[in-house]
Every structure is written in C-alpha cells, then in structure tokens.
Amino acid sequence: MKDVCLRFEKLPVSQSFVNIVNMHPRCTALLMTLALTAPDPDDAGLIYGGKEAVPHSRPYMVLVLRNMPSGKTKTCGGFLLSENFVMTAAHCNASSYKVILGLHDYNLKDNTETIPVKETFIREDYDYETLSNDLMLLKLSYNAKLGSHVRPIALAGPKDAAPHSCSVTGWGRSKKHPSGMTPVLMEVDVTLSTDCETEEFYCCLGSDGMGMGDSGGPLVCEDGKAHGVVSHVFPKEEKIEQLFAKIPKHKDWIDFTMNAV
C-alpha cells in the first residue's frame, strides 16, 4: 500500500485516480490530499475552466505559505475572517505558516502584507483518513491592515439558504501556465449538486473547479458569503466529485474559537 501511494506522487495530473483507489482503498485520503495541496509555490494548483479574477475583487483571499519539516515551502488557499483570523483546510497543516494578504499578482507584492501565524486551531474531530471536518483557523501574529484590497468575508450560518451557484478562487496552473503557478488569482463558477452532497460536504460534479493547491480556499455562493472550505476531490465511476467542508455545520465552533483567544 505504501509503495503504491508513493508511486502515485510521480504520476501525471491527467492519470486517472479511480483504478488506484479501487486497488488500494486505504490510500484514498492520501490521494485526495495530494490532488489539492501543492508541493511548492511554483506548483500551487489550478482552477480548471476558470478565468482571471478582477484584481482585488475578492479582498478576502489569502495565500497561505506552509513551512514543512523537510524545509520546503508549500501553499494552500485561505480567506480572511477578521483582522487576525484566517480560515483554511485542516489538511494544510505544517510546521509554521505565513499568509500573504492583498495579493492578486504573485510577481507584484509591493502593496501586499505578509504576516506570520501565531497559533493554529484544527477541528478536534478532523479525520485524516476521511477528511471530514477539514477546517483550520490560523490566528495571525498581529492584526492585518484592512482596506479596499484586504477585507474579511462573512460566513454562512445554519439559518442561511442552501447554496447552489457558487465560485472558487485560487492561484495556480492554467492553460497559459501548464507547468507552474499562474501568477494571477483565478476564479471559476461551480454549481452544487444534491446528488453527491453529504452531511459533511457540499459537492459539485465535473472537471471545472478546484485543483491541486486550491485547498483551504472559500466556496463563495450567491449571497456573497463563504459556505464551504475547499477540501478534496474524489473519483466516482466516470465522474469527479469536488467536495467542500460545510461552514454552517461548524459556525458555532468558529465563533467560539475566535472569541475565546
């Protein structure tokens, strides 16, 4: 099982997940995580079928720089909840972190702010194997400077209407940049499906949407609120399920954690 999982890391992105998962189901969580977390800042993922976002039209977006025990730096997406809290995915855990705020073009950081992370809060019931409860809060070392390019996003709660038409954003590979990080923020519209929704996850079907390196970014829906956290993809027969951890399910935990520290 270990050898097969390791060999998967060397497969091309276009390689089908399905046969490997069926042969070695215990590899599933690793495969799903590898599908969405990037090995380094120059391989930060892709938004399939997307387009460049209008610069700074999503001021809540955060690029999370993850310092790994190996000494390498990996990336995840994230989004600003307040002056000093960022939300990302639990499987984006690392030894330490920094976040870049106010970013649109990765090559133009003059007007951005980079802040170290002081403390992390992973859902206590996060399950590495199933990736259920895949949420993590990052408390910043000091308050971010809010403005037109840096602004928190509101979170959906249990009483909000069920989402349907949403969008996902992130930095990474695209048709124009197939071998490395797309320097600008990309976005893509997705339609959620109740056919694959679970108690834990919102879901959409198809090839357009999130990809490697987009983990931790927000699922923003028609009301302008963040309803989900980009978690993982899962192959099912001939379809690809894209799964987002449900924020309303965890809203009480989010509020309690942010108010308690």
* 4: phi then psi, degrees, rounded to nearest 5: -65, -40
Buried b (16+ CB within 10 A) or exposed e, 58-95: bbbbbbbbbbeeeeebbbbbbbbbeebbbbbbbbbbbe
- At 124, the amino acid letter reads E
Q: Specify which residues 168 forms β-bridges with.
A: 188, 219
Return the closest-CA partner of residue 170 out of 238, 242, 115: 242
Decide if 136 contacts 123 (C-beta within 8 A).
yes
What whole-number distance in Å separates Cα of residue 16 and Cα of residue 129? 20
Please give the positions annotated as active site. Answer: 91, 134, 215
